[in-house]
Amino acid sequence: MNRAERFRPFSFLRMQKPTPLVLLAGLLLAGVIVSHAQTAAGTAQESPPDSFVYEQVGGHDLKVYVFEPAKTDYRRPRAAVLVFHGGGWNAGSAEWTFGQARHFASLGLVGISVEYRLSDGQAVTPFDAVEDAKAAVRWARGRAGVLNIDSKKIAVYGESAGGLLAAATAITSDSPSKEELNSVPNAVALLSPALNIEQNERFKKLAGTRQDVASISPMQHVRANMPPTIILTGELDTLSPSTPLIDFCEKMKQAHNRCELQFFLGVGHMLEPPPKQGANSGSASKARYDAFLKLDQFLLSLGFLQKESQKN
C-alpha cells in the first residue's frame, strides 16, 4: 500500500443515537468508502487530475493537481480543499495526498493536492514552503471563476509537517494587505500538525540561520476572526505532542475563534497504531474512519457540503 492510500476510513462508526447530522455525514461517506475500495484495487476508471502551475520559483514550476467531483452542478460554484502533504518539510510529494484529494472530490468538493518546495537546510527552508502554501491559496482564490469554485469556501488541509503549512496560511500582519487576505483560507483542517516548531529540532535544523521562527508560528499569531479550525490527532502521538495543540486551541477560543480538537485513542502520529499492535490494528482503522467523519461533519457545518435537500 502506498503512502497516499494509507489514511482512509475502513470501519463503520458505532453510535447508539445518531443525530441527523451524523446520519447525513454517514450517507455521504458510504459512497466514499466504495470509491476508496476501487482506488485500492487499482481501478482504471479514475480520471487523472488536471495539473496547473501556480508559481514559478528559481526556474522551477510548482504545480497543483485538481480533482473534480464525479457529479457536480456547474451552475453552482463548489467549495474547495487544498491539501498539503507531510514529510518533515524535506521529503514527500503532492502525489502522497492524491487519496485525500479524491476523498474531498467524492463529497462534491474540488480537491487540490499542492506541490511545495522541499527544504535542504540551506537554499530552501520551511519558510519558503510556507510562502508556497500561501501562494497556492491565492492562486485558487484568484482563479475561482475558472475553476468554478466559491472564493469564500476555500479550506486547507495539512498532515504533519504539512499541517504547519496549512495553519500558517491563516497568519497575517496586524494590518493585512489585500494580498495577505487573499491567502487566508475560510477553514483549516489539520491532522497530527507540527505546531511546536519552536521546540522541533528537525525544523530548527532545516531553518538554518533563520531566526524568525515566530514569524510562521501559528501559536504566535492567534487573533480574532481567524478561520474555523479542526485538529485531529492520536493520543499516543509523540512527534506532534498534545500540549501545543491544546494550547493553540485554547488560545483560539480565547480570541473567540472556533477550534475543535479531537483525540483518537490507541493511535499515534498520523493515526498510525503503536508498533507492537501491527499495521492492521483495529483501533487504527476505526480512528481513520472516525477522523474523516469528524472532518466531514466540520465541513458540513460550515456549508462546504451541500445537503441532499438543498440539491433537489
Q: What is the pLDDT of residues 184-237, one digit of tens each?
A: 999 999 999 999 999 999 999 999 876 689 899 999 999 999 999 999 999 999
> If pLDDT is split at 50, 70 and 90, which confidence band does 174 have?
confident
Q: What average pLDDT does this structure show over 166-180?
A: 89
287 in any annotated domain = yes
pLDDT at 27: 42
| Mean pLDDT value of segment 258-276 | 92
Q: Which residue has the higher pLDDT, 7 or 51?
A: 51
Q: What percent of the chain has pLDDT over 90?
A: 69
- Summarize the confidence of residues 112-123 as an average pLDDT: 95
**Of 261, 132, 289, 97, residue with least CA distance to 189:** 261
Residue 2 has pLDDT above 60, yes or no: no
- The answer to whether residue 31 is domain-embedded is no
110 in any annotated domain: yes
Cell 497516499 found at: 4
pLDDT the model gives residue 175: 81
Is 163 a domain residue?
yes
pLDDT in tens, 38-79: 333 333 357 899 999 999 998 899 999 999 998 777 789 999
Residue 33 above 70 pLDDT? no
Q: What's the rounded mean pLDDT across residues 268-292?
A: 82
Q: Is a pLDDT exceeding 60 seen at residue 293?
A: yes
Q: Give the rounded percent of residues in the chain with a pLDDT score beyond 70.
A: 81
pLDDT at 8 over 60: no
User: Is 55 inside any structural domain?
Assistant: no
Residues with Cβ < 8 Å from 278, sequence gap 6 or more? Answer: none
| d(C-alpha 126, C-alpha 164), whole Å | 9
d(CA 165, CA 312): 37
Q: Does residue 234 sit in helix, strand or coil?
A: strand
Q: Residue 181 sits in which domain range?
A: 62-311
Q: What is the residue type of 303?
A: G
Question: Is 222 within the bounds of a domain?
Answer: yes
pLDDT (average), residues 287-291: 94
pLDDT at 285 over 90: no
Parallel, antiparallel or unpaired: strands 229-234 and 60-67: unpaired
Does the pLDDT at position 100 exceed 90? yes
In the chain, the number of structural domains is: 1
Grouping H, G, I as helix, E, B as strand and the rest as coil, residue 209 is coil
50 part of a folded domain: no
Q: Are 63 and 115 in contact (CB under 8 A)?
A: yes
Pairing, β 229-234 against β 187-191: parallel
pTM as predicted: 0.84
Q: Is pLDDT at 31 greater than 80 in this prediction?
A: no
Mean per-residue pLDDT of the chain: 84
pLDDT given for residue 295 in this prediction: 98
Query: Is 26 a residue whose pLDDT tops 80?
Result: no
pLDDT at 179: 85
Task: Decide if 7 is inside a domain.
Answer: no
266 contact partners, CB below 8 Å, separation of at least 6: 234, 235, 236, 273, 274, 277, 281, 283, 284, 287
Question: In this structure, what CATH number is given to the domain that contains residue 206?
Answer: 3.40.50.1820
Question: Distance between CA 87 and CA 14 in Å, rounded?
Answer: 32
Burial of 276 (0-12, 13-18, 19+ CB in 10 A): exposed
**91-108 mean pLDDT:** 97
